[in-house]
Amino acid sequence: MEIEDKFDVPAEYQVPDLGGLPGAAEVVGPKTYQLVALYFDTPDLRLAARGITLRRRRGGTDPGWHLKLPKAKGARQEIVHPLTRSAKIVPTELADLVLAYTRGAPLTPIAELDTRRAVTTVVNGAGVRLVEVADDRVKGTVLGEVPHVERWREVEAELIEGDEKLLKKVGKRLTRAGAVPADAASKLARLLGAAGKVSGQPRAEAEPGSAGEVVLSYLTAQAGALLAQDPRVRKAEPDAVHQMRVAARRLRSALKSFKTIVKGTENVQEELKWLGGVLGEARDLEVIRDRFASRLDTLDGSLIVGPVRTRLSSDLLDDEHEALDRIRDVLGGERYFALLDALDDLVATPVLTKAARGPADTLDVVAAKSWRRVTRAYDTARAMEDATEREHAMHDVRKAAKRARYTAEVIGMTRMAKLAEAVQEVLGTHMDGVVAQERLAAEAENARRAGEDTFTYGVLTGLERAGAERAHQEFPRVWEDTTEAVARLL
């Protein structure tokens, strides 16, 4: 993670004394470097429009290929790859991480930055670098038939090992000396902006305070969340598949619930359902692997017999890796790119209904309707005499509760969302226990065929059965408490 503050400064600016800061023992430098960076993007600057930079840089202390993905204001994730022989071909490992943005378009050089950098470092008593202040004199060139050249000076304060309070104190000293917070998030953004070359992603505008504004704001945020998880999923980062799947589900739920606000989204809904299914296998394996590991950690050692940890960890992990490979194949395909294009169109040019112009509080009706769907699903389940059919019907209750939760989130009904989540969670606990028992039975059979002791599988199955039964017994009370609370809200 790269956490830094950027400042615009005049040509005559003097970097102030940084001595005497809390926790700092010494100020080292300045030390001077010459940096030459070649930036890559698609011809229509799709990366720059998203605040992403991809460069090949020579000179300084960290030469190499650098991919920077925005995380939050002042913070970016930086992914580094060693310098390659070719200066014009982006390494496949980095090109793949931006496929969700390029969608097959070529990456070519679009700009070059030549920077003379003077670095001053604040260190603690152990010599650990806390904050680095880079004073940059930049010559930027936008490449093309007629190159566009800009020159400027800026200062960056980057947090290395200190805390953000120290970074703020450094920033205050810089501003007191005449620096002002930079308008652009990066050097490339500043250069392209000066050349009139890039703008942000198009977004539809709805009337302030309207139902349409609320729904579009939510859809835009979730579409952005889905896209932001794409590189993390490709790198198999923890919880990334889950977060991407949640974003897909939230988008689909909102489009279904608010079809009276945004219409014509049926195809997008189906494709989001497809994507959620693609992500589901790896996510389910991740959940159940972690679940079994936690169960085994709580058992007395005498109850763990045979290579059960191997079967329930490394074997499941192998299956998870295979599922992740299948996900990566899908994320590089035209169907996925078409879905991303459709989401871009949705937030840029949605088809809004007349109801979208109404006040935001009219959306409360949708939340009430969504909860009635939960109660109808439960009434249907309770009326079933067959236990297996009732079990499947309770899964529909859980799905309805999840949709009611997401619907309430859209319109800011936090209490309503938590109540729906309570129903969803207790049903989920029961269902997870049932699924875990099925998986344990399959793994026990594999162990039996291999001549292994299956005692521990029986112990784990008993724990899962007991947990599922507790959740089953608890549900009527949770349902009664929840329905009473919802009635008071609606």
Rounded Cα distance, 245 and 251, in Å: 10
Q: Give per-residue pLDDT as tens, 61-92.
A: 889 999 999 876 667 889 999 999 888 899 99
**pTM (2 d.p.):** 0.87
Contact status, residue 324 vs residue 284, Cβ threshold 8 Å: no
Residues 6 or more apart whose Cβ sits within 8 Å of residue 300: none
Residue pair 282/241 in contact (Cβ under 8 Å)? The answer is yes
Q: Mean pLDDT: which of 158-162, 263-267, 316-320 is highest?
A: 263-267
8 touches 154 (CB < 8 A): yes
For residue 301, the 8-state DSSP code is: G
**117 with 60: CB under 8 angstroms?**
yes
Does 452 score more than 80 pLDDT? yes
Q: Which helix (H) or strand (E) holds 180?
A: strand 180-181
How many Cβ atoms sit within 10 Å of the Cβ of residue 196?
Answer: 9
Torsion of CA 66, 69, 74, 78, to 10 degrees: -40
**Mean pLDDT throughout 324-348?**
95
CA distance 476 to 385: 17
Please tell me the predicted confidence (pLDDT) of residue 471.
93
Q: Quickly state the pLDDT bin for 206 (edges 50, 70, 90).
A: confident
Cα distance between residue 342 and residue 271, in whole Å: 10
Q: Is the pLDDT of residue 252 over 90?
A: yes
pLDDT of residue 74: 62
Q: Is the dihedral of CA 103, 104, 110, 112 positive or negative?
A: positive
Among the listed residues 288, 308, 318, the one whose alpha carbon sits nearest the alpha carbon of residue 447: 308
Give the gyration radius of the chain's Cα atoms. 27
First to last CA, the chain: 44
Region 91-117 average pLDDT: 95
Residue 438 has pLDDT above 70, yes or no: yes
Nearest to 272 by CA among 346, 374, 206, 352: 346
* Cβ–Cβ under 8 Å, residues 354 and 226: no
Residue 359: pLDDT band by 50, 70, 90 thresholds?
Answer: very high
